[in-house]
Amino acid sequence: MWLTFGNQCTDSYDRTLAYAHKDIGETGFVNRVMVRQGYAWAYPFDDNNDFKKDFQADEDAARAEGLGMWGACD
């Protein structure tokens, strides 16, 4: 597992902002997998976020499919 960083490495509370990877490609991009499965939402920390459109598309798909937090409560 490894981390990569965007334009900001920390937020206003000095928390580390990073992208987590467990493998090469989309299925190994932990942040995107979490959003796509409905376990996280797309939240850009800055307008220069390299993956802003990808994360939003993943969230939109998870919402449309009712996955994770976007699903019905049992």
Q: Is residue 8 classed as helix, strand or coil in its secondary structure?
A: coil
Please, which pLDDT band fits residue 1 given cuts at 50, 70 and 90?
Answer: very high
pTM: 0.84
pLDDT of 64 over the 90 cut: yes
pLDDT at position 16? 92
For 44, residues 6+ apart whose C-beta sits below 8 A from its C-beta are 52, 55
pLDDT in tens, 10-59: 988 999 989 999 998 878 999 999 999 999 999 877 666 778 899 999 99
Is the CATH number of domain 2-64 2.60.120.260? Answer: no
- Would you state the pLDDT for residue 47? 63
Q: Which residue ranges make up each domain of the chain?
A: 2-64
